[in-house]
Amino acid sequence: MEQVNAIELKHVTKRFGEVTANDNVSLTLKKGEILSILGENGSGKTTLMNMLSGIYFPDEGEIRINGNAVTIRSPKDSFSLGIGMIHQHFKLINILTAAENIILGLPGEKKIKMPQVVEEINALTRKYGFDLNPMQKIYDMSVSQKQTVEIIKVLYRGADILILDEPTAVLTPHETTKLFQVLKNMKEDGKSIIIITHKLNEVLELSDRISVLRKGTYINTVETKDATVESLTEMMVGEKVSLDIKRTKPTNQKKRIEVCNINCRNKEGLPVLTDASFIAYSGEILGVAGISGSGQKELLESIAGLQKLESGQIFYHTPEETIEDLTKLSADVIKEKGVRLAFVPEDRLGMGLVGSMDLTDNMMIRSYKDGRSFLVDRKKPRKLASKIVEQLKVVTPKLETPVRRLSGGNVQKVLVGREIALNPTVLMVAYPVRGLDINSSYTIYNLLNEEKKKGHAVICVIEDLDVLLELCDRILVLNSGKITGVVDARSTNKEELGLLMTGTGEEKHKDE
């Protein structure tokens, strides 16, 4: 007898204007299996899943759920077909409890019987091995707990097909292991699961089969047991890629940035950095590890003069061995002092670049003040823009294209290129390869390594621990705004980093 598939996509095509996000994609999810959808950014994974969850509507093609041809016009349609999607960005209401969030929007009697709901939720958590208190408020939760709420939300609604979009991007290694166990339990129970990711190791560990997309087209589906990291990379990129980062020994190390006991608070008045002190040397790459939101952003922004400090001091040691006090100076004053500090912020289009402006105007962000003329000089920025496009192989129709139209990788190349063009003595980068494909990522790693060889101090926040271990010389670990350790990248390992990231290895909750 032929087995009915949970999901069948047949020749699905989706276009956005001139861009074809999915081109004739056919794919099947068998009942009770974990299927990984693998592909670089921009390969159309999320678009494909958004068509299943009713956010987009396919231009062509057919979707079959449990053997029946269906049309999914809205997320509601998708729910009623038993599809539950867990998005990368959580959609929860902070001031409500987990249970309240879970039943939000569900039809039912006028009076909510909360104890009964809680009991049902507890039954679900016990069944699959989650760890959740239904009465806890969302704002009290860690990222991984919020994710748990999202998963239970769709299970509570009776979903038997789950789609998870990059679920491990925000998790620590320990939390990832826990999540995978839960997913395996659900599979045992007969649920069908799709997981979207680009982390190869996880794919190999978790899934039964792997489907690969590249630039919107479907490449192939393989059994996990027949796949290796190399073969999958080749399928994703379309060519063999060498995955080595050439790390050189740091030379001629001198103090460059000295941070002493800085404290700062966020807009809500909660402390985000507590007594942080460290030194960054010239000629080395200092990595910063930590669960997202542990103070990485504030640490870099403090040095760049974009963060208000409550107390503490920041010193810059010039190559001429004099000392500049950067404490409480704003970005423009730091620049006027002649400190060549480059900063690639996490929010590329919200801080580093202006999305609606073209490449030339974005180059000017750093240099428009130069010269005494009332009018701006666009000649030099234009030259710089075309130089960056050429050297870093930025794909753009023309220099006048708004950067918002470029893909994530190209946006990042423009930004990193501009910052490196400042010829900085200190280069700070936050999540430099987030959202980038493998080739672009390695381009960025090489650029960082070159800066290091030039004797500049590089500080980089990277979420992927494997990369941190391979790229950096030393790794600074943050946990809820405290520096829990600075370790030698050559002798440490993921487990040690994981322990430092979570403090004692156990989850800590903010109890305010």
One character per residue 178-217, x = contact with other proteins (rule: CB under 8 A) = ----------------------------------------
Q: Which of residues 360-379 bind other proteins (CB under 8 A)?
A: 361, 364-366, 368-369, 373-376
Residue that is written with structure tokens 């001139």 in the block: 18
Contact predicate 216/22, CB 8 Å: yes
Lookup: tokens for 265: 């608070």
Q: Enter the DSSP assignment of 351.
A: I
70 binds other proteins (CB under 8 A): yes
Using the rule CB under 8 A, give the single segment among 89-97, 191-199, 243-251, 346-354 that binds other proteins: 346-354
CA distance 6 to 33: 9
Instruction: Provide the minimum distance between the beta carbon of 398 and other proteins in the complex, in angstroms, as a whole number.
Output: 12
Instruction: Provide the minimum distance between the beta carbon of 113 and other proteins in the complex, in angstroms, as a whole number.
Output: 27
Using the rule CB under 8 A, give the single segment among 14-22, 117-125, 268-276, 308-316 that binds other proteins: 14-22
Q: Which of residues 298-317 bind other proteins (CB under 8 A)?
A: 304, 306
24 binds other proteins (CB under 8 A): no
Interface with other proteins: number of residues (CB under 8 A): 41
431 binds other proteins (CB under 8 A): no
CA distance 21 to 41: 11
Q: State the chain's maximal CA–CA distance in angstroms.
A: 81
CA distance 157 to 175: 24
Instruction: Provide the minimum distance between the beta carbon of 329 and other proteins in the complex, in angstroms, as a whole number.
Output: 11
| Three-class secondary structure of residue 471 per DSSP | helix
One character per residue 325-344, x = contact with other proteins (rule: CB under 8 A) = -----xxx--x-------x-
Query: What distances in angstroms separate CA 462 from CA 146, 290, 417, 455, 465, one per listed residue?
Result: 22, 9, 18, 21, 7
345 binds other proteins (CB under 8 A): yes
Instruction: Provide the minimum distance between the beta carbon of 132 and other proteins in the complex, in angstroms, as a whole number.
Output: 31
Q: Which is nearer to other proteins, 194 or 304 (CB)?
A: 304
Q: Which of residues 125-144 bind other proteins (CB under 8 A)?
A: none
CA distance 417 to 111: 59
Strands 161-165 and 482-488: what pairing? unpaired
Contact pick of 277, 350, 383, 490 for other proteins (by CB under 8 A): 350
Q: Which is nearer to other proteins, 114 or 376 (CB)?
A: 376
Using the rule CB under 8 A, give the single segment among 73-81, 102-110, 180-188, 272-280 that binds other proteins: 73-81
| Three-class secondary structure of residue 70 per DSSP | strand
Q: Which is nearer to other proteins, 368 or 493 (CB)?
A: 368
Contact pick of 2, 18, 239, 244 for other proteins (by CB under 8 A): 18
CA distance 419 to 331: 14
Q: Enter the DSSP assignment of 250.
A: P
Q: Which is nearer to other proteins, 88 or 401 (CB)?
A: 401
Residue that is written with structure tokens 């290895």 in the block: 505
Instruction: Provide the minimum distance between the beta carbon of 285 and other proteins in the complex, in angstroms, as a whole number.
Output: 23
Q: Which of 49, 70, 193 is nearest to 128 (CA)?
A: 193
422 binds other proteins (CB under 8 A): no
Indicate the helix (H) or strand (E) that contains 134: none
77 binds other proteins (CB under 8 A): yes
23 binds other proteins (CB under 8 A): no
CA distance 245 to 384: 27
- Lay out the sheet containing 341-344: strands in order across: 341-344, 426-430, 457-461, 285-289, 474-479, 482-488
408 Cβ neighbours under 8 A, 6+ residues apart: 41, 42, 348, 435, 436
Instruction: Provide the minimum distance between the beta carbon of 264 and other proteins in the complex, in angstroms, as a whole number.
Output: 15
In the complex, which residues of this chain contact other proteins (CB under 8 A)?
16-19, 57, 68-73, 77, 80-81, 304, 306, 330-332, 335, 343, 345, 347, 350-357, 361, 364-366, 368-369, 373-376
